[in-house]
């Protein structure tokens, strides 16, 4: 962590950090910061102690009068660091750094050109996979789809009852699917006009038919994928998140819906839209439940108590 602290606040911050569990390698650089002006404090902190440290520094208003930043250290070779991690409650992989998660979901809920571009490209790849009946190409579309970012933001918004974040994330999800389906629909009409696809293009797709047959298994997979996705972003396990993308069929179903719309296959259109809804609902329910469980578990393992955690969540709203 790096803290820029006005000289009037530095003594109190250093006093706290010197005795804080999980903090090690504290370096104080007086008067070196220029914008904002002040002292620079550099230190390492065990991930499972980060919430307590950030909460205390924010109580000192250092995020208002100075600056607080954090990054994951790739490698620390230090017996003192090992002892600091042992002193901190819980395990690093179980720790949720709420400020970090808040910033991440705020970024993921934004509607940007890149977000819409990824959605449109992924949906078109999914539509092509349906036409050529290729599960391999379909997997590529699943991995490319960016929909889990705003879905995780909805889960976090539900956790802290933040209507603004929930609304922003929901609009981002809906807009992404609308743009992806609209662009793919136009491309499908062009392909239909030049004879690349026809009215029977959706008749032979046995290998990918599962994406338009929503059932109880689709919902169960969505529940499991939502829980795994939240665990992967809170524990910074990006490899697990790729598995989440491959597990759910939201983007493939959107690609199928665009084709069905262009070809006038209304039954297929309804079932593919239902598949999208089932997946989004399942991931939102399980993702929110997972965050609640993590909050409850961490408070019992020695992390922030519920009252303190509520204050932290209130102060981390983007």
What is the percentage of the chain residues whose pLDDT exceeds 70?
Answer: 86
**pLDDT surpasses 80 at 38:** yes
Residue, of 6 and 316, whose pLDDT is higher: 6
The pLDDT value recorded for residue 304 is 44
Among candidate residues 278, 133, 129, the one with its CA nearest the CA of residue 214:
278
Q: Do β-strands 23-34 and 2-5 pair in parallel, antiparallel, or remain unpaired?
A: unpaired
Range with the poorest average pLDDT among 30-44, 207-221, 275-289:
207-221
Instruction: State whether residue 273 is helix, strand or coil.
Output: helix
56 and 308 Cβ atoms separated by less than 8 Å: no
Per-residue tokens: 262: 């262009």
pLDDT one-digit tens code per residue, 215-259: 888 899 889 988 888 888 887 655 556 666 666 788 889 999 999
Tell me how far apart the alpha carbons of residues 105 and 290 are, in angstroms, rounded to a whole number.
15
| Residue 94 host element (H or E) | none
Among candidate residues 184, 66, 74, 206, the one with its CA nearest the CA of residue 121:
184
Average pLDDT over residues 249-278: 89
The pLDDT value recorded for residue 309 is 44
Q: Do β-strands 2-5 and 37-45 pair in parallel, antiparallel, or remain unpaired?
A: antiparallel
What is the percentage of the chain residues whose pLDDT exceeds 90?
Answer: 44
**pLDDT surpasses 80 at 85:** no
The pLDDT value recorded for residue 244 is 63
Range with the poorest average pLDDT among 154-163, 188-197, 210-219:
210-219
Residue, of 300 and 266, whose pLDDT is higher: 266
Tell me how far apart the alpha carbons of residues 306 and 294 are, in angstroms, rounded to a whole number.
12
Tell me how far apart the alpha carbons of residues 228 and 290 are, in angstroms, rounded to a whole number.
9
The pLDDT value recorded for residue 77 is 78
Residue, of 197 and 76, whose pLDDT is higher: 197
Alpha helices, H only, the chain: 7-19, 50-59, 62-65, 79-87, 98-108, 113-132, 135-144, 148-159, 163-193, 216-234, 238-247, 250-263, 266-300, 306-315
Confidence of residue 290 (pLDDT cuts 50, 70, 90): very high
């Amino acid at each position: 962590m790096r803290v820029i602290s006005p000289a009037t606040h530095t003594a109190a911050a250093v006093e706290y950090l010197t005795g804080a569990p999980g903090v090690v390698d504290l370096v104080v650089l007086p008067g070196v910061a220029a914008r904002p002006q002040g002292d620079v404090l550099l230190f390492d902190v065990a991930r499972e102690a980060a919430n307590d440290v950030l909460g205390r520094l924010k109580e000192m208003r250092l995020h208002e009068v100075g600056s607080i930043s954090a990054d994951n250290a790739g490698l620390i070779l230090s017996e003192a660091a090992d002892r600091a991690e042992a002193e901190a409650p819980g395990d690093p992989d179980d720790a949720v750094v709420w400020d970090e998660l808040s910033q991440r979901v705020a970024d993921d809920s934004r509607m940007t050109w890149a977000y819409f571009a990824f959605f449109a490209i992924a949906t078109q790849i999914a539509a092509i996979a349906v036409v050529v009946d290729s599960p391999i190409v379909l997997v590529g579309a699943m991995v490319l789809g960016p929909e889990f970012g705003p879905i995780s933001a909805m889960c976090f918004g539900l956790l802290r009852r933040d209507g603004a974040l929930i609304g922003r994330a929901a609009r981002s999800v809906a807009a992404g699917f609308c743009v992806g389906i609209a662009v793919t629909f136009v491309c499908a009409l062009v392909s239909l006009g030049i004879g690349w696809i026809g009215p029977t293009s959706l008749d032979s797709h046995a290998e990918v038919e599962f994406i338009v047959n929503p059932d109880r298994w689709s919902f169960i997979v969505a529940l499991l994928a939502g829980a795994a996705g939240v665990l992967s972003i809170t524990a910074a396990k990006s490899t697990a998140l790729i598995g989440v993308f491959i597990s759910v069929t939201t983007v493939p179903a959107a690609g199928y819906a665009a084709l069905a719309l262009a070809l006038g296959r209304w039954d297929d259109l309804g079932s593919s839209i239902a598949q999208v809804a089932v997946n989004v609902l399942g991931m939102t329910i399980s993702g929110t439940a997972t965050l609640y469980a993590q909050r409850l578990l961490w408070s019992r393992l020695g992390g922030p108590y519920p009252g303190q955690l509520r204050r932290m969540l209130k102060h981390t709203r983007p």
